[in-house]
Structure 1
């Protein structure tokens, strides 16, 4: 064999290896089964939804990588044991998701059986689910689904449930509030103030609020090294990544081409500690902005490592933040080793999101108690040193910034934004919170929160 032929063959083999560097058919089926199990479990046991609703909302219009496979999956629900099992590969394998009080559903790893459920931490065992939302802290509340006396606002609200703000928009809820009043509250048929749905990346801003509560209690500091144990070797340059770098989406870590695709954790039964902590640096920490789910998961992993036990850590968000402000219909979900996946996997209601917004309008205070540090709103609203492209909102600490880039909104507007059209918009200068929930269709123009909030402000 001559040298040229050897080189050609080697190059061909290399090209083949590169083109095949993607998920196998078995992995894709495992992802689809995990997605179906997780969403079915959470929607039933967190959101009290029917299988018909789940098929219509959670399992349609989704990520194209698995959409066709998910449509063929048949979840098996065990109401008594709070399990969902989804067979795949002609029934030879299955994925399992199991519900726990407060913590919602956890996806077991590939290869696990229902006999392994006993190994999943359950620190709130026996806790009863919250009943009707008590409507606090609002002194006045518009009747749910009532017609507004403000004709211009009524028009905007009605349009929010059409294709006006995006051809792929499918709105499930809208809520507009100040700290004292719910101005408007609308839901689609079958939804109520107690109906939880997944926040997707709105969870990142919830995660930042959990970090804020930990800062208030002196458990962690933004300007100190994240201190992840996997990075502790003296030669490891990741030791220099600070918590603030992670909050700013500026870790400098390799998060693949699309940093918002963390499929192995989100639907593959993978662990935060096995995936997010293992990537290498690409650039110096703080020198580049790149949206990355791993940065959020690492920020919470850093907090986890400040606690003496996983059980203590799992209770912290509830005791330090959620229960204090009445977010009693919120479920922060974890992986099977007890790391919160607060980059996406929170199930909550419109009212609970509005409560988080009100907490920020009140400078981190709730009924006289300082839950978040003084100045925390200013901190999360301050543009990070490295910023997204000019055609995007700016970025602070796990919150998006609608500053001078968007002249139709007040410069102090901040937002938590998530996949499929989840939005929590906080406008301190207007003392206003706007929440929109949805099931927008993947690959189509989603709900335009900027235009909707602009129109709400004009109407008010």
Structure 2
């Protein structure tokens, strides 16, 4: 084939759209810089970590797409003005992440400067960060990192900080509680009850709880159309997608081969409102289960559109849920237009996650107030009409179900599960909550929460 023909064929392929979609080097560098800026910002300002800790935990063992690029990047941290800047492309460009009280860090879009941070909504400006964890609601608390009197449980807890439950396992915290007692609480050196970590997809179950609080306050309805403004045209079939479809991971929307690939929002400075809302239907809503970050983001976007102002919406999770149950070290992060990225970007402590678990054990009640609707635990624990493959846990409403598929655990076991080994496991029949946090290594066998919880139950 001569050179002219090769060029002609290449031009035809470009013209007809047969080239494979692939990120450019500039975009990949922007992603890596955004990841570095965002995680550094959140770890420093949400969790009070040193840069050495950030490098060890947040920036190692990570997503292969950007792992090597991140190694060569140097964040600039401005603790006085609460931002992190990361230059890339030999210093010609930069990515910036800005911290706000309670809301944590927000990644500015490519091309934005530090001066642009003044345009961010900041409804909690001036609020002071929480200090020591109060220990409430637990009247009885095992001493942090103390040896258990239960030899079998002690062995399980020690093994949780080894490779016993996964070759790529790197455990940072384990917490076992009932509504009345902290049975055991262990942390990696340098961590404490006040150390927040990113939840990754455990955030989805937090997001479902925010939706539950909104339903309790009559702000949104499960079986009504989601009502996303982008889908308002009468010819648009997406207008038939209900909030429940979204909670069930059954929107029917195109979310590429891997529904957890939302890089543009997670580290590219993209918006929920111009990424998640733009995809087309592949199948009828409710007819297929497919794990998709966008479904969670869309459920919360639907709630956002029920509020008159973004500032009012930003306050809602805190006023309606988090502050009521004492989740004082939880940061629910947003994109730069004020949409919560509640599919992944929450930073919280092990105790705060356990408090959310206790709220569910108490059927959505806290100190006599009904925060979540009556029957909410039953609702999120009910298998959705369309289910994951048989070799995986079942799925309810943004919670995973360890039902009859897993005979070594009680059938009512539900779990919030996140990347790098984040787990919140709730077992109503045992009145028990188990939390495990970690920094598991991408590409290696992660922490096996099923086996760990099974062994905890045997020990108890």
Question: TM tier, shorter chain?
Answer: over 0.9
Match of 2:325 in 1: 325
Q: Is the 8 A contact 2:13 2:19 kept in 1?
A: no
Q: Are 2:84 and 1:84 equivalent residues in the alignment?
A: yes
Residues 245 and 72 of structure 1: CA distance in aligned 2, closer, same or farther (over 3 Å): same
1:21 shift after superposition: 1.8
For 1:156-179, what per-residue CA distance to the aligned partner results, in whole angstroms no more than 9, with x for missing partners? 000000000000000000000000
1:418 shift after superposition: 0.1
In 2: Cα distance, 1:307 partner to 1:15 partner: 44
TM-score of the aligned structures, taking structure 2 as reference length? 0.98
Q: Are 2:303 and 1:303 equivalent residues in the alignment?
A: yes
Match of 2:443 in 1: 443
Where do 1:229-378 residues align within 5 Å? 229-378=229-378
In 1: Cα distance, 2:292 partner to 2:335 partner: 18
1:13 shift after superposition: 2.6
In 1: Cα distance, 2:38 partner to 2:415 partner: 27
What SS is found at the alignment partner of 2:335? coil
For 1:128-150, what per-residue CA distance to the aligned partner results, in whole angstroms no more than 9, with x for missing partners? 00010000000100000000000
Match of 1:163 in 2: 163
Where do 1:191-230 residues align within 5 Å? 191-230=191-230
Q: Which runs of 4+ in 1 moved over 2 A?
A: 8-20
What SS is found at the alignment partner of 1:312? helix
Match of 2:187 in 1: 187
Where do 1:110-129 residues align within 5 Å? 110-129=110-129
In 2: Cα distance, 1:134 partner to 1:194 partner: 10
Match of 2:108 in 1: 108
Q: Is the 8 A contact 2:394 2:401 kept in 1?
A: yes
1:232 shift after superposition: 0.1
1:18 shift after superposition: 4.3
What SS is found at the alignment partner of 1:273? coil
In 2: Cα distance, 1:174 partner to 1:293 partner: 26
In 1: Cα distance, 2:105 partner to 2:415 partner: 26
In 2: Cα distance, 1:50 partner to 1:112 partner: 26
C-alpha RMSD of matched pairs (Å) = 1.6
Match of 1:148 in 2: 148
In 1: Cα distance, 2:436 partner to 2:10 partner: 54
What SS is found at the alignment partner of 1:443? coil
1:10 shift after superposition: 6.9
1:307 shift after superposition: 0.4
User: How many residues of Structure 1 are paired with residues of Structure 2 in the alignment?
Assistant: 457
For 1:54-107, what per-residue CA distance to the aligned partner results, in whole angstroms no more than 9, with x for missing partners? 000000000000000001100000000000000000000000000000000000
What SS is found at the alignment partner of 2:415? strand
For 1:349-370, what per-residue CA distance to the aligned partner results, in whole angstroms no more than 9, with x for missing partners? 0000000000000000000000
The runs of 5 or more residues in structure 2 that have no matched partner are: none
Where do 1:44-83 residues align within 5 Å? 44-83=44-83
Match of 1:43 in 2: 43
1:9 shift after superposition: 2.9
Match of 2:27 in 1: 27
In 2: Cα distance, 1:10 partner to 1:224 partner: 48
In 2: Cα distance, 1:370 partner to 1:78 partner: 42
In 2: Cα distance, 1:72 partner to 1:174 partner: 32
1:347 shift after superposition: 0.1
1:17 shift after superposition: 5.8
